[in-house]
Structure 1
Amino acid sequence: MPPQEIQEIYSHTVQQVLDLTGIFVFAVAGALTAVRKNFDVIGIVVLAEVTALGGGVIRDLIIGDVPPAAFRDLGYFITPLFAAFIVFFLHPQVERIYATIDIFDAAGLGLFCVTGTAKAFAYGLGPVQAAALGIVTAVGGGAIRDVLANEIPMLLRWDREIYTVPAMLGAGLVAALVETDTLNAITATCAAVFAFAFRVLALRYNWRAPRAWRRNSEVFEKYE
């Protein structure tokens, strides 16, 4: 199905700059994970690439936008390599500013959950399915990274600040905006800022998602 007009929220240049910025920050996070795991240079590159591009590739394959955008635009593929190069040589310095990277990562999360949802709508998906793919766009790469690094994906861990919930809220807002025919550059930016702010607040105040109710029951005691 050919894409509809809804896909173009921002101008092509603005969209590309935002995408490359988000891809770069996600790639840095992936490369740092590889360094912490003592991976070699190939491992650093692989984790940088999958963290930055994995969610978008999954989305594009599902909606039928093939080859995925990450393989059509050389800039999308080269940017994670550049991030991996920086981390390979300068990882001690990058680690020292990791709190700042967390902020940019939150911005990438907010951006990708919005643009991913809008692109899924553009290819004919309904609001629930489109929002789900928006979430995948934002957190899918990180999940692949954690699996490859032999860790429980961050989106499943109760002992980490909530990560998926901000993406869910941002994607849900975009779905509502589309359904009410009010999605444009301003409202999309507001949705992205909302998801970003929610994630930053989660980092600041250590917000966690709730676990199963009545975990103190005898059923759970057997597994503690």
Structure 2
Amino acid sequence: MTLLVVLDYLSVFIFALTGALVASRAQLDLLGFLFIASLTAVGGGTVRDLLVNREVVFWIANPWYIGTACVAAVLVFFTAHLLENRRRAIDWLDAGALAVAVPAGVGVALNLGHGPAVVVIMGMMTGAFGGLMRDVVCNEVPLVLRQGELYLSAAFAGALVALAVRFAIGPTPLALLACAVVTFLLRAGSMAFGWKLPVYKSRPPRNRM
């Protein structure tokens, strides 16, 4: 099993957990859990594979990815009530999923021979789009749009670090590992310590003479 396959399975499973937890907050039935978990789990990777013109979308080539998402959904369906704070659990699981999905997207784009800009964008899209779809469908405020929080910026930084490591020492799994570590640390720091980017603040126009 290659590193990219491992990353895909991990991101599918963890993102599916977050999707199922959001479904529990919406009080959906089991089929709703399965749908939201699967949408969250494979949404980002599907967009990535379609845009880079991959020969076959990853979960169509291997339906076990959908099976993995369904296992996560069923697990949460029977255990979500045990969590005291599901919103907090979603945030931390999503941080872990982001840290796995971004290097997965980076790795796929690199293996297909794309340039730096496309590699960075594919890493960000793989990490962000599944959660974005989940939140929009379930009428939640998307994590990627929370004011000033490090989310897309964490994915962006992680993808850049992967490129820097690859440029410095050549093709190596260390590039994807560094991407995962940086992405998680920035996202976790944003949640734990309130790290934020500056946000736009509206100002009244100056009076003209």
> What interval of TM-score do these two structures reach, taking the shorter chain for normalisation?
0.7 to 0.9
Q: CA deviation at 1:158?
A: 0.5
Q: Could you tell me which residue of structure 2 aligns to residue 88 of structure 1?
A: 77
Q: CA deviation at 1:146?
A: 1.2
Contact 1:27 1:84 in 2 (8 A): yes
Q: What stretches of structure 1 of length at least 5 have no aligned partner?
A: 1-10, 220-224
Q: CA deviation at 1:123?
A: 1.7
Q: Could you tell me which residue of structure 1 aligns to residue 105 of structure 2?
A: 116
Q: What stretches of structure 2 of length at least 5 have no aligned partner?
A: none
Contact 2:105 2:122 in 1 (8 A): yes
Give the secondary structure class of the aligned counterpart of 2:127: helix
Q: TM-score, normalising length from structure 1?
A: 0.81
Q: Calculate percent identity across the aligned residue pairs.
A: 31
Contact 2:48 2:126 in 1 (8 A): yes
Q: CA deviation at 1:157?
A: 2.0
Q: Distance in 2 between matches of 1:54 and 1:130?
A: 18
Contact 1:128 1:175 in 2 (8 A): no
Q: Give the direction of change, closer, same or farther, for the CA distance of 1:198–1:183 in structure 2 (3 Å limit).
A: farther
Q: Could you tell me which residue of structure 1 aligns to residue 196 of structure 2?
A: 208
Q: Could you tell me which residue of structure 2 aligns to residue 197 of structure 1?
A: 185
Higher deviation after alignment, 21-30 or 106-115: 106-115
Aligned length, in residue pairs: 205
Higher deviation after alignment, 203-212 or 171-180: 171-180
Q: 1:73 aligned to 2:62?
A: yes
Pairwise mapping of residues 35-54 of structure 1 onto structure 2 (< 5 A)?
Answer: 35-54=24-43
Higher deviation after alignment, 171-180 or 64-73: 171-180
Q: Give the direction of change, closer, same or farther, for the CA distance of 1:143–1:100 in structure 2 (3 Å limit).
A: closer
Q: Give the direction of change, closer, same or farther, for the CA distance of 1:90–1:145 in structure 2 (3 Å limit).
A: same
Q: TM-score, normalising length from structure 2?
A: 0.86
Give the root-mean-square deviation of aligned CA atoms.
2.3
